[in-house]
Structure 1
Amino acid sequence: MYSMITRLTTTISQRSMVIIGITITIVMTLSLAIGVMAGLGHNYRVLIIGSLPIIVAAIIFVLRRFDIAVLSIPLTAWIAVYDIPAGNYSRVPVSLIATLGLCAIWITSMIIRHQWRLASTPLNRPLIVFGIICIVSLVWGIIWRDPILLMERVGGDRFLIVQFASLLSFLGSIGSALLIGNFVQTSGRLKFILGLFLVLGGISTMLLIFKISPFPLNPHGLGGLWSTISAYALALFHPRLRLRWRILLIGLVLIQMYLAIVINITWKSGWVPTTIGLFIVTWLRSRHAFFILLMTVIIALVLNSELVMQVVNDELEEGSDGRISMWEINLRVVGDHWLFGTGPGGYAAYYMTYFPHDARSTHNNHLDIIAQFGILGAIVWFWLSLAGLREGWRLIKQTPPGLLHVLAVTITTGWICAQVAMFFGDWVLPFVYNQTITGFKYTVYTWIWLGMLISIRTILTRQQAQENVSNTQR
């Protein structure tokens, strides 16, 4: 017995010495590499090498707790501390890298296990088909590219890299929705995401009102929309929420609307869809409350008629000289490339060749979809939009009072508002020459919430199955 314990202790000691030796070797090697790179002035490489232990630890964690690791998508989107330099003054957001990495691991796992399973939802087919359309459009746009295009005006050979990066941002958006929907399947994880938008959205709003930079928080894009709608739905629909929390949430909504309407009145992408969202949530809660809110808004508009007319006149001037002309140019390009479009970011080359003095992006995501992915892409997007709306409405009807019902109301309303916001800018699918690839870290917000719609369906189905089993056993 004593000899066995001695051998075991010796074996453990030998393993410990091996681990310690390997650790010391790795640390010394990294230290030497960091020293050499720092001496040569390669600061970014120093950062990358110094981050290797963290990267390795993160990979190990992801492989062991993939379901928890998926929550890094909303976390790295909201807390955008650092973007990875990619050369030519472009940067890649950490949230995009995390999303693509998680997608790669997930797909590899399904290949190895020969298990191609997705959570049951009517969103799967339009999401996957839209992703395929994005890929096909890149190849199609290259094959049928006008031979007289002045490609040197968009970087020459680098333009293909830009297009590929744009494609990855679109696929990452789709992947984020599927990842959230397939792995965020507990109420606790849904609360985590909801809490991120409420707490970080509220903090960001207060900082912006006092003209303080919210960095590293990322309230850009439709972050304010989702924070406001979720706070309002939670205040109105959760049956067990205490009065003080309802008051706090309504106060948060009022503060966010003050930022959107009073301070940022010229930013229509912010206040127009959010205002529509508040009306939708109110209508779902109470028809009487809806008409009271409507009359209140009408009275406020009448009392501030001069300001309203000024905003309308400014918009008409911008529309006649700006957006309408941009849309006309876009439709000219679409007319010659209507089937699969010009590919991700592809119409930039046509703009710089045929309209070099008026080469501006459309600031309209719906037109962007037609120009980049053609009529087929637009049809599939319309399919996805309707599928999300239909599934959201079904879940509103089917979910019992509580968290799932609040989220169903929030997501359905927010999805409608996102379609409205798309008329004012590329807030759901980032155009590479406008929001750039960096815009993924806030355009992904809408995709995260869309993925939660899949999560709600899975949780609800599981709860109903458990109830059926319980009723059978009685």
Structure 2
Amino acid sequence: MTRYLSRLFELEGLPARLMVAAGAAASVGLLFLATMRQGMYESALQMLGVLILGGIAAYPVVERPVLGLVLLIPASILPPLHVGGKGGASVAFIAAPALVGLWLLSRLSHEGGLKLLHTRVFKPLAWFALASIIAFGVGQYRWFGVAGASLDARIGGLAMFLLSPAILVMAAHEFRNTVWLKRAVWALMFVGAILLVSAGLGVLGFRSVGLLQTKGGMGSMFWTWLLAMSFSQGVINNRLPARARLFCLAITAGTLALTMGSWLEWASGWAPGCVALGVTFLAFRPRAGLVLGILGGLVLVANATVARDLAYTPDQAYSTKTRAAAAQTLLEIAKQNPITGFGPANYYHYTPLFPILGWYVHFNSHNNYFDLILQTGLCGLFCIGWLWFELGRTYWRARPHSRRGFERAFLCGAIGGVAGTAVAGGLGDWFLPFVYNVGIFGFGSSILAWIFMGALVGVASLQDRPTIQSVDL
């Protein structure tokens, strides 16, 4: 592939990967000029900063695409880039396509061509990508005689549906190198420590740096995976020094204190994390985890009134009522095309045609699974359910062969993170962001789940060599 590109452009001495990097920089430069022409000078300055920083980071990322995956973790809490219109895009959303493209070209440039792991996890991802593309095509039709979302919104939604699986595939290959995976896990914990210190300063009355005001830093996916990784490394990784394990457990305790203290009413902020902790411990000590789970359930039943008063606040009661009403209305919309859905973002513009609690207004489901039905149909929903199953199956087959220390701790934490991610989708947070709710900026937080789910596949391939092989494409 590299030789073909070199002959095509008659640039024998220039690596093809650098050509792609130059093309990406030129594209960002054109976007910068277009933004300037529209008079959005603040956005143009932001874009110029991204162009400069991107140029500085381009060469090492071109040489080691896995570095780009690690850098996406601190990028998840950066403020949005307003490149036009309302809202903004996360740095991760802008960087991800270039990163995937560089990685693919890097793989193609090797003598053996493109070799992908032969794992069952990739099958639901491929079918989901196909279902998303079909839904995008179906979404061009004017359902109910009303125009759907703008083309920009539809393309943004489709991009997130395609980039998320692509990042998982990339992470599955790149994080077979556990040295880089360790760096990614520690990057997550150090970013989490910075956010927790910022929150602590705010509680003490100091003027904090305000990082927690960014949606990316507050996304449920960030806190869920932070809990899963910090707890698993602190409890399970017996090869870590005592100080490092205490640091991990301090991150766990601080995250629980923040999400279940200051943010108790935000159920999707703490409940998925608690599920992740429970499943992580169950994966590590199945018998003890089962006993503790039963005892915990009995305690909750015995103190159901107290637990309800603490967690089920008036705001939660109102939220539950409106979400139930939204579900009934959205099911009526979904009946019109349940198989392929209405395409990315479109259903939001059909909601005013159907009343919710007597009102004819725009609204969304606050549920990732309802969003999938309405955007990609039952086909897309089935693929995501299939993905959860295959990730669990991959963990289960790798578990008996896992090596003590970091790898075993990571596998336990990762399956806990998968469980928490699946629960978060039903509670109103997004592993696949909705354009008209958390927006494209939410991709910065959700991408963390796809990175570490891909890493789960990569580490499992090291433990379970008989069942995961390479396939040439």
1:272 is matched with which residue? 271
Q: Tell whether 2:96 aligns with 1:96.
A: no
1:86 is matched with which residue? 83
1:426 is displaced (CA, Å) by 3.6
Counterpart amino acid of 1:106? Answer: W
SS at match of 1:119: strand
Structure 2 contact 69–451 (Cα < 8 Å) conserved: no
**Distance in 2 (alpha carbons) for counterparts of 1:289 and 1:229:** 15
**Distance in 2 (alpha carbons) for counterparts of 1:288 and 1:110:** 44
1:439 is matched with which residue? 442
1:360 is matched with which residue? 363
1:294 is displaced (CA, Å) by 5.8
Q: Tell whether 2:323 aligns with 1:323.
A: yes
Q: 1:449 to 1:55 in 2, by over 3 A?
A: closer
Counterpart amino acid of 2:331? Answer: L
Counterpart amino acid of 2:129? Answer: G
Counterpart amino acid of 2:136? Answer: L
1:333 is displaced (CA, Å) by 1.1
TM-score by length of 2: 0.79
Counterpart amino acid of 1:260? Answer: T
2:170 is matched with which residue? 179
Structure 2 contact 279–419 (Cα < 8 Å) conserved: no
1:51 is displaced (CA, Å) by 5.8
Q: How does 1:152-171 map to 2 (within 5 A)?
A: 159-171=150-162
Q: 1:302 to 1:253 in 2, by over 3 A?
A: farther
Between 44-53 and 333-342, report the one with greater CA deviation.
44-53
Structure 1 unaligned regions, length at least 5: 1-29, 466-474
Q: How does 1:102-251 map to 2 (within 5 A)?
A: 102-108=99-105, 115-143=113-141, 145-146=142-143, 148-150=145-147, 159-211=150-202, 212=208, 213-214=210-211, 218-251=217-250
Q: How does 1:444-463 map to 2 (within 5 A)?
A: 444-460=447-463
1:17 is matched with which residue? none
Counterpart amino acid of 2:401? Answer: Q
**Distance in 2 (alpha carbons) for counterparts of 1:245 and 1:111:** 39
Q: Which whole-Å deviations, capped at 9, do the CAs of 1:348-391 have from their partners, x for residues lacking one?
A: 12113444724221111011111110011111111111111111
1:74 is displaced (CA, Å) by 2.4
2:14 is matched with which residue? none
Counterpart amino acid of 2:271? Answer: V
**Distance in 2 (alpha carbons) for counterparts of 1:299 and 1:438:** 39
**Distance in 1 (alpha carbons) for counterparts of 2:438 and 2:426:** 15
Q: Which residue, 373, 376, 390 being the options, matches 1:373?
A: 376
Q: How does 1:278-427 map to 2 (within 5 A)?
A: 278-286=277-285, 287-288=287-288, 291-292=291-292, 295=295, 305-306=305-306, 308-309=308-309, 311-312=311-312, 314=314, 317-318=317-318, 321-355=321-355, 357-427=360-430
**Distance in 1 (alpha carbons) for counterparts of 2:245 and 2:49:** 46
Counterpart amino acid of 1:194? Answer: V
Counterpart amino acid of 2:219? Answer: H
Structure 2 contact 40–84 (Cα < 8 Å) conserved: no
Between 64-73 and 222-231, report the one with greater CA deviation.
64-73
Output the aligned Cα RMSD.
3.3
Q: Which whole-Å deviations, capped at 9, do the CAs of 1:59-82 have from their partners, x for residues lacking one?
A: 34333333433433223224x1x4
Counterpart amino acid of 1:97? Answer: I
**Structure with more helix by fraction:** 1
1:316 is displaced (CA, Å) by 7.0
Structure 1 contact 120–458 (Cα < 8 Å) conserved: no
Q: 1:142 to 1:307 in 2, by over 3 A?
A: same
Q: Which whole-Å deviations, capped at 9, do the CAs of 1:105-157 have from their partners, x for residues lacking one?
A: 334556777934222322112112211211111001213x3252155xx5xxx
SS at match of 1:85: coil
Structure 2 unaligned regions, length at least 5: 1-28, 203-207, 469-473
1:291 is displaced (CA, Å) by 3.3
Structure 1 contact 110–116 (Cα < 8 Å) conserved: yes
Larger Rg, first or second structure (1 or 2): 1
Structure 2 contact 398–460 (Cα < 8 Å) conserved: yes
1:250 is displaced (CA, Å) by 2.9
Q: Which whole-Å deviations, capped at 9, do the CAs of 1:405-450 have from their partners, x for residues lacking one?
A: 1111111111011111111114201000001001100011111111
Q: 1:137 to 1:292 in 2, by over 3 A?
A: closer
Structure 1 contact 122–387 (Cα < 8 Å) conserved: yes
**Distance in 2 (alpha carbons) for counterparts of 1:293 and 1:311:** 19
**Distance in 1 (alpha carbons) for counterparts of 2:346 and 2:378:** 15
Structure 1 contact 233–410 (Cα < 8 Å) conserved: yes
**Distance in 2 (alpha carbons) for counterparts of 1:464 and 1:138:** 35
Aligned residues: 422
**Aligned residues with identical type, % of pairs:** 20
**Distance in 1 (alpha carbons) for counterparts of 2:467 and 2:377:** 41
Q: 1:181 to 1:313 in 2, by over 3 A?
A: same
2:17 is matched with which residue? none
SS at match of 1:454: helix
